[in-house]
Amino acid sequence: MPNLSACFDTASNYPTIFFFNIIFIFLVSYYLKGCYKDARIRAMPKFMGNFKEHDHPIKWCLETVLRHGYQAFGMQYGGECWSGPTAHITYSKYGVIRSCKNGLGSQWANSVYFFGGKKINCDSRILGQTLI
């Protein structure tokens, strides 16, 4: 197992998740953009799954969205995961709302997350893979 201590940015407020498999290690940083209204014609058009029953629904949603290569995702109604190829552009089409709870949205409201944030200084040679 490689030494990953160089990959942690302790000054950052952004959560960081490491994904491990046999070949690759990915470092992913994400942040909560805010709480945004939704409607029947969805601001984030692609339903990615309902992770309400999982211990960490945001993590499950994030992993699913990453596999599709999308740039943003929304958590709605306690565990529904929404995204899509244009979600990073259309997420705010219905405006801001204040009803989101615990980063998991609420009924017709998305807690919207974007990938990125503060750049984390990590030598990709340590990980053997380019960082996302």
| DSSP run (H or E) holding 52 | none
Handedness of CA 107, 108, 109, 113 (dihedral sign): positive
Is residue 116 classed as helix, strand or coil in its secondary structure? coil
Q: Rounded to two decimals, what is the model's pTM?
A: 0.73
How many Cα atoms sit within 13 Å of 81 on the Cβ side? 22
Q: Per residue of the chain (132 residues), give pLDDT as tens.
A: 444 444 444 445 555 555 554 444 557 789 999 999 999 999 999 999 999 999 999 999 999 999 999 999 999 999 999 999 999 999 999 999 999 999 999 999 999 999 986 444 444 444 444 444
How buried is residue 10: exposed, middle or buried, by Cβ count under 10 Å (0-12/13-18/19+)? exposed
**Start-end of H helices in the chain:** 57-68, 87-90, 124-127
Region of residue 30 (left: phi > 0; alpha: psi -120 to 50; beta: else) = beta
Identify any residues that bridge with 34 across adjacent strands, giving them in sequence order: 112
How many whole angstroms separate alpha carbon 73 and alpha carbon 98?
18
Report residue 48 as tokens: 């990615």
